[in-house]
Chains A and B, each alone.
Chain A
Amino acid sequence: DAGVIQSPRHEVTEMGQEVTLRCKPISGHDYLFWYRQTMMRGLELLIYFNNNVPIDDSGMPEDRFSAKMPNASFSTLKIQPSEPRDSAVYFCASSSQETQYFGPGTRLLVL
């Protein structure tokens, strides 16, 4: 298996623009997680899905963030409008039987 795939790997955008991050989980995994990592706050869980259904989005910082999982092989995290404080590395992870495997991350810079 190719592992968790994320795109893009790097994104530079201007404040106010919409940003969409994409994730393809490992086939057969029934959980999908979105995290954000910054120096100040470390690794934060934003939202997670089970069988494509959002279970807990209490970590989503504000309404500008939204996530979807239209099918078992694809998820998106959208930020609209983006702000400089959203600059971070965003990780997607998928799991089956308690172990999470992470994608390579998307490094987002909002100018």
Chain B
Amino acid sequence: AQKVTQAQTEISVVEKEDVTLDCVYETRDTTYYLFWYKQPPSGELVFLIRRNSFDEQNEISGRYSWNFQKSTSSFNFTITASQVVDSAVYFCALSEADRDDKIIFGKGTRLHILP
């Protein structure tokens, strides 16, 4: 069965600190996709990144970076030098190949960046 666990329900950090959001997944498939979405206070769900199971290279996009480790079934998300605008709920998600693009979402981590 597929499952996504975001153990951190809520995190608060002071602006400019680095913060890592944890994501652990379970799947029996060898081909799958991992995602992160951001939901700011305005409410929309914004796609951030997709990773396929065959690509374990870490990715960096500006202040955002993602660490994918198959050995620990984790896909963690780090924000460097956090800013108040990063305050949001962040969802990790999993999709298995040949499952009609269905995504299983984690319960989300609410991130507060304090000025």
Q: Is the CB of B50 within 8 A of A98?
A: yes
Which of B35, B45, B50, B107 has a CB less than 8 Å from the CB of A91?
A: B45
**Could you say which residues of chain B place their CB within 8 Å of the CB of A107?**
43
Is B68 close to A, CB under 8 A? Answer: no
> Per-position contact with B for A81-110: 1 when CB-CB < 8 Å, else 0?
000000001010101111111111101000
Interface residues of B in 87-111 (CB under 8 A from A): 91, 95, 97, 100-103, 105, 107-108
Q: Is the CB of A89 within 8 A of B43?
A: yes
Residue of A nearest to B35 (CB): A99
CB distance from A23 to the nearest CB of B (A): 14
Residue of B nearest to A101 (CB): B47
Extra 8 A-B pairs, beta carbons < 8 Å, given A96-B101, A102-B45, A104-B43: A33-B101, A42-B108, A56-B102, A98-B95, A99-B47, A100-B47, A105-B45, A107-B43
Task: Contacts A101-B47, A102-B44 given; indicate if A43 touches B91 (C-beta within 8 A).
Answer: yes
Q: Is the CB of A99 within 8 A of B43?
A: no
Q: Is the CB of A42 within 8 A of B107?
A: yes
**Could you say which residues of chain A place their CB within 8 Å of the CB of B37?**
102
**Could you say which residues of chain B place their CB within 8 Å of the CB of A19?**
none
Q: How many residues of A contact B (CB 8 A)?
A: 24
CB distance from A8 to the nearest CB of B (A): 14
Q: How many residues of B contact A (CB 8 A)?
A: 19
Interface residues of B in 35-51 (CB under 8 A from A): 35, 37, 43-47, 50
Interface residues of B in 58-115 (CB under 8 A from A): 91, 95, 97, 100-103, 105, 107-108
**Could you say which residues of chain B place their CB within 8 Å of the CB of A56?**
100, 102
Shortest Cβ-Cβ A-B pairs, 4 listed: A102-B45, A95-B101, A31-B101, A104-B44
Task: Contacts A99-B35, A99-B50 given; indicate if A105 touches B43 (C-beta within 8 A).
Answer: yes
**Could you say which residues of chain A place their CB within 8 Å of the CB of B108?**
42-43
**Could you say which residues of chain A place their CB within 8 Å of the CB of B46?**
102
